[in-house]
Amino acid sequence: MALADTSGEGRASALRSFSVKAAKLILSVAVTFFGLLLVTFLIGRVVPVDPVLAVVGDRASQSTYDKVFIELGLDKPLWEQFLIYLQKMLSGSFGESLLTKKPIAEDIARVFPATLELASVAIIIGTLIGIPAGVLAAVRQGGLADQVVRVLGLVGYSAPIFWLGLIGLLVFYASLGWVAGPGRIDIAYEYSVTRQTGLLLIDTAMQGQWAAFRNVFSHIILPASLLGYFSMAYISRMTRSFMLQELSQEYVVTARVKGVPEWRIIWLHALRNAAVPLITVVALSYANLLEGSVLTETVFAWPGLGQYLTNSLQNADMNAVLGCTLIIGAIFVGLNLFSDLLYSLLDPRVRRGR
């Protein structure tokens, strides 16, 4: 009976602990999103763009200007404007784009898959190359391999991405003809592919259109490789740092004394422990690719969120700019939350609160 009571108390304590953690997590996410909404609202009020003129044009009469001014709610106090803005954002209504005359949520749903596909291929490339390169650099610390990885990482950090894009197009598209040019797919295949997921590599493969698949791959490989190189520079550097820390731990020395093969120590023990903080690194790199590919999408005429945001800025379409900003912020919050949850699943010390 006493054992049963103890077991019941243990389950109740675990349930309370889980409830407290869940409540803290929900509160943290809610506060973060509230702050994000507040920042985007203030951005829309401090930028030197008159939202009324963006709607009516600079040749409209004063009466038309005043009418639209009231319709937009700009005559109301700032706190009331924020409450209206908050209500619209929480309902998923970002307003209408001045450029496309369509709901901004519809525009974002149309262009975001292109950015998602580009960033996903890029992070796969960056991770598959960056982690082994970082491990090699740590194992060969101070050697030639270490120096090469560090130099490549430095170039990846330092070289402007738009410059690399232009050079890549000049060399691999214009001169060698190894890849397709700007755009996402050739016009010959544009209307033969049914957009099911919006991810053309997946859609063409699902429909068995392998000629279109090769065309899509030829378009995406160059911009994705450049973005992957950019993320690889960060991932390899962080992998090297984490691995150096793990290789200096006592369990590694003990394993070597016991005669454990070096490859098992490196890949099955040290890298496994280093993989826990690497999750956050990869997640943040992915978020940066999703929101930071504006210049790459502009250079390669990639019809994604970055190009949509650039066109909106150039045409003073602030509703679209704020909608994109909010989506980008939500991506960062979501990926951070996902990495934290995954971190706690892989590291028992985090689950125990240590």
In the prediction, which pLDDT does 215 show? 93
* Cα gap 347→354, rounded to integer Å: 10
The 10s digit of each residue's pLDDT in 77-110 is 888 888 887 887 777 777 778 777 788 888 888 8
Q: Count the alpha carbons within 13 Å of 275 in the hemisphere toward its beta carbon.
A: 13
Return d(Cα 114, Cα 134) in angstroms, integer. Answer: 29
For residue 99 the two structure tokens come to 């450029």
Sequence letter at residue 55: V
Evaluate whether residue 254 is within a structural domain: yes
Q: What is the pLDDT of residue 292?
A: 63
Residue 25 resides in a domain: no
Query: Which range has the worst mean pLDDT, 38-47, 131-140, 174-183, 193-202?
Result: 38-47
Where does residue 73 rank: exposed (0-12), middle (13-18), buried (19+ CB within 10 A)?
Answer: exposed
Question: Domain total for the chain?
Answer: 1
Query: Could you give the residue ranges of the DSSP H alpha helices within the chain?
Result: 2-46, 51-56, 62-71, 78-90, 104-139, 144-158, 161-168, 187-190, 200-206, 210-247, 250-257, 262-264, 271-291, 294-299, 305-314, 318-346, 348-351
Q: Which residue would you say has higher pLDDT here, 286 or 49?
A: 286
Residue 187, domain CATH: 1.10.3720.10
Residue 353 has pLDDT above 60, yes or no: no
Residue 62 covered by a domain: no
- Give the model's pLDDT for residue 347: 62
Cα gap 290→118, rounded to integer Å:
8
Domain that holds residue 292: 114-351
pLDDT given for residue 316 in this prediction: 72
Q: Does 26 reside within a domain?
A: no
Kindly report whether the global pTM for this prediction surpasses the value 0.85.
no
Tokens 């397709």 correspond to what residue? 180
272-311 per-position pLDDT tens digit = 888 888 888 898 888 888 876 777 888 898 988 888 888 8
Query: Tell me, what's the pLDDT at 114?
Result: 92
For residue 331, pLDDT over 60 is answered with yes
Q: Is the pLDDT of residue 354 over 90?
A: no
Q: What is the pLDDT of residue 195?
A: 86
Q: Does 24 score more than 60 pLDDT? A: yes
Indicate if the pLDDT at residue 3 is higher than 50. no
State residue 327's pLDDT score.
83
pLDDT value at 131 more than 90: yes
Q: How high is the pLDDT of residue 189?
A: 87
Q: Which of 164, 215, 206 is nearest to 188 (CA)?
A: 215
Helix (H, G, I), strand (E, B) or coil at 182: coil
pLDDT bin (cut points 50, 70, 90) of residue 127 is very high
- Mean pLDDT across the stretch 100-125? 90
**Contacts for 282 with CB less than 8 Å, ≥ 6 apart:** 123, 127, 235
Which two three-digit tokens encode residue 113?
């898959």
- pLDDT for residue 266: 86
Q: Is residue 40 part of a domain?
A: no
Does residue 66 lie in a domain region? no
Q: In the chain, what percentage of residues exceed pLDDT 90?
A: 21
Residue 23 placed within a domain: no
Residue 58 lies in a domain: no
